[in-house]
Amino acid sequence: MTVPVAPRHDETFVLNVGPQHPATHGVLRVKMTMDGEYIVKAEPVLGYIHRMHEKLAEAGSYAQFMPNTARMDYLHALAFNHGWALAVEKAAGIEVPERAEYIRVITVELNRIASHLLWWAAFLLDLGGFTPLLYAFDDREQIIDLLERITGSRLTYCYMRFGGVYNDIDDEFITGTRAFIKRLRSRWQRMYHDLVTGNIILIKRIKDIGFISQEQCRRYGATGPVARGSGINYDVRKNEAYSVYSEFDFDIPVYNECDSMARYMVRMDEVEQSLRIIEQALDKLPEGPVMAKVPKVLKPEAGYYYSAVETARGALGHRLVCTGDKNPYKLKLRSPTFCNLSLFGEVAEGMLLADALAFMGSLDLVIPEIDR
């Protein structure tokens, strides 16, 4: 539990966590004002890898920006591909073939599982557990091999196209995906929950640590597993259904405990729900083309457009302003991780340093997505 700490300026000192500290994810610096082992104030400092992605979008054509999307959230790059494709398709009035939408969902959900597995591995490594990383990367490698076969990449994907996808899937991909689902389900309880979730060491490290209220989530705009771990039942795939997500039967895991353990459980349950979605998409996969006929140079009509998708870290929004030119006039991204990190300073106040690092890991931060 967090302990209220009154600042004693004669006894406090400043501790820099990062930007190279191994306990942080990405190039993030947190300026900690400490009273012994307790945090008096925590200030996240950004800007170490800022690359001006939004300005780059305005400097090139709509298609030229697609590879950039994967460089923001490299762990769930296909969701960022998907989000940009949907925003431009909405602006340009492009109808996507049904088979392409199903393939998008299959690949995005596989990528979501891969992201959650890497978060699980890195989170436990931060807490001192090495063995789970080996299990997680073993399973994640199966996904990476499947996605590499159809996208040509293993991490920073550029698979989506305006009007569909770059490449169709074949029987070998479908067979491999079904085999992966069977494999992960056979290992899930024994290697993930029995070994880690029920482990008393993990429970003592993250249960009742990092309490985030619903009011704080709303005030900072937190979404994704962070908000759902605080009892907020909101997922863009359900609440603002896009693509063909409305065709599938799946649940949104929600926990009301508001602590780091709740956020952990949301992500673990989400892996199982993603497996359900993929399985249904494979069963219902329609025949047909995977690309619509789209002009080589897109010039959407002048106007303001907005679309959102659910990434592994929460709601990603694209605010797009078009003027009828071949380049976007303005692009503003609504970054889920930026909102989730913003509440860290308030929640970490009064916590032990070791607990704050565990709490930070439960937020699943991908700093390049913030520092875009």
DSSP label of 291: B
Of the candidates 49, 107, 65, the one whose C-alpha atom is nearest the C-alpha of residue 320 is 65
The token duo for 24 is 């942080």
Q: For residue 46, which amino acid is it?
A: L
The torsion angle over the Cα atoms of residues 42, 43, 45 and 46, rounded to 10 degrees, is: 100
Give the model's pLDDT for residue 1: 54
Give the model's pLDDT for residue 24: 59
CATH of 13-370, one of 1.10.645.10, 3.30.70.1560, 1.20.950.20, 1.10.1740.10: 1.10.645.10
- pLDDT tens digits, residue range 141-187? 999 999 999 999 999 999 999 999 999 999 999 999 999 999 999 99
Q: What residues form DSSP beta bridges with 45?
A: 29
- pLDDT tens digits, residue range 21-45? 555 556 889 999 999 999 999 999 9
Give the model's pLDDT for residue 93: 95
Give the model's pLDDT for residue 159: 96
The answer to whether the CB of 315 falls within 8 A of the CB of 240 is no
Below-50 pLDDT ranges, the chain: none
Give the model's pLDDT for residue 121: 96
pTM strictly above 0.85: yes
The whole-angstrom separation of Cα 247 and Cα 293 is: 25
Q: What residues form DSSP beta bridges with 258?
A: none
Give the model's pLDDT for residue 18: 79
Backbone angles phi, psi at 53, to 5 degrees: -60, -40
> If phi over 0 gives left and psi between -120 and 50 gives alpha, with beta otherwise, what is residue 334?
beta
Give the model's pLDDT for residue 181: 98
- pLDDT tens digits, residue range 312-345? 999 999 999 999 999 999 999 999 999 999 999 9
The answer to whether the CB of 290 falls within 8 A of the CB of 103 is yes
Compute and round to an integer the Cα radius of gyration of the chain: 21
| CB neighbour class for 14 (10 Å; exposed up to 12, middle 13-18, buried from 19) | exposed
The whole-angstrom separation of Cα 312 and Cα 45 is: 23
Count CB neighbours of 327 within 10 A: 16
The whole-angstrom separation of Cα 238 and Cα 227 is: 15
